[in-house]
Structure 1
Amino acid sequence: MVLKELRGYLRESGSTLSPGEALIKAVQLWIAQGRADAIPAKGYQWKQLFLPDGTRIRLRAFGVWHNATIVDDKLIYKGKAISPHQMARQAAGDGRNAWREIWILMPGQKRWANAAILRAQLSKQFAAVPPTPEESMKIAAKAMSDALSTALTLVAHANDQARNTLERRLPKYRRAWDVLEDVD
């Protein structure tokens, strides 16, 4: 029933999509919208890692867990708004790397994750993002410009080599005995 309705709509709208392609696009749009709706408007931005409101943070130092929470756009530890680095210093002392020491539990998640691992996953995800069409055109234009510049350099070199070869055969460079006399 729904498939018939979809086929009819695709035909009426003049779409070139097959019903299967239309369903895939619809599901992708639905998932993207769900994710967009789930992202809270408030949170703490820790370098490239966004920690939404309600995120729990902890680190273990000297056998004791030290806990903090993201409230609105602040990291609250012992009633004060501080940075993750300051939390690591207060809890464990100087010389501790907050990225390695801090564990994060995002809202809706069941497992704690190390901040360094989350950051590495995020970096890998951004590295895998393909360039936009505009960036692709810039890359292609630069490659073409470089290729043209190289070709022009090669042509200039070839012309220079050809000119030098011809100049070596001109009369002023020939030996006197190598010149044939004109016979009438």
Structure 2
Amino acid sequence: MNAAGTRNLPPPPILPAIVYDELRSYLRESGSTLSASEALIKAVQFWIAKGRADAIPSRGYQWKQLFLPEGTRLRMRFNERWYTAAIAGDNLVYNGKSVSPNQMAVKVAGDGRNAWHEIWVLLPGHKQWANAAMLRAQLMKQSVKVPPTAAEAMTIAAKAMSDALSTALTLVAHANDQAQNTLERRLPKYRRAWDQLEDVE
């Protein structure tokens, strides 16, 4: 622990100490709530995402969540034979016609086939075929939100507490109104005439 009460974490081995110190100084000066490690994680994730986005061709076929860039090959096995298709421009072309993956599966094997499970994909620059359902699952896993930082978690918790307090105050105000109405009904001007008669001895 240092004088400020925070732990001194060693810089990551791949980052020179001078750069790590510069990053920590910048975060402190800018008032950022991120730790140096959190800032590095976000920077690397941003860099990877940008690299992937830049590498994606502008043309291709969007299959639900999965983007198949131009040049992607698809295949499906039925009755011991492989049937192939390819992404040309913005279309999935099978037997010279533009189709959807589901239409391809129906043309090859008839109704009742799940194209996600039946179709295998070979992306441009890849050497291994991958099942479409597995590719989609990987994509969904990668798109899961990064857990919030400590500062973000505190902000979320503070908002939840503020909302809970606001609700509690509303309930208290409602209870006070109810109590006031009950009290007013018992005041003399609201009492029935026979309630106000004096007792006769």
Superposition TM-score, scaled by structure 1 size: 0.64
Correspondence 1:80 to 2:105: no
- Matched residues in 2 for 1:93 and 1:175: separation? 91
Identity of counterpart residues, as a percentage? 47
| Count of residues paired in the alignment | 166
Which residue of the partner structure matches residue 181 of structure 1? none
Correspondence 1:148 to 2:191: no
Q: Please give the per-residue CA displacement for 1:72-113, whole angstroms capped at 9, x wherever unaligned.
A: 211111222211111101100122121221111222333322
- Matched residues in 2 for 1:174 and 1:112: separation? 93
Alignment of 1:1-184 (within 5 A): 3=16, 6=19, 10=22, 16-17=26-27, 21=36, 24=40, 30-128=47-145, 140=159, 144=163, 148=166, 151-164=169-182, 167-168=185-186
- Matched residues in 2 for 1:122 and 1:4: separation? 35
Partner of 2:84, secondary structure, is strand
Superposition TM-score, scaled by structure 2 size: 0.60
**Which blocks of at least 5 consecutive residues in structure 2 are unaligned?**
1-14, 29-35
Q: Please give the per-residue CA displacement for 1:134-164, whole angstroms capped at 9, x wherever unaligned.
A: xx99xx59x73x8535532432223313542
Partner of 2:182, secondary structure, is helix
- Matched residues in 2 for 1:7 and 1:155: separation? 53
- 1:169, CA displacement in angstroms? 7.8
- Matched residues in 2 for 1:150 and 1:4: separation? 50
- Matched residues in 2 for 1:152 and 1:26: separation? 43
* RMSD of Structure 2 on Structure 1 (CA): 4.2
Q: Which amino acid aligns with 2:135?
A: L
**Which blocks of at least 5 consecutive residues in structure 1 are unaligned?**
178-184
- 1:3, CA displacement in angstroms? 4.9
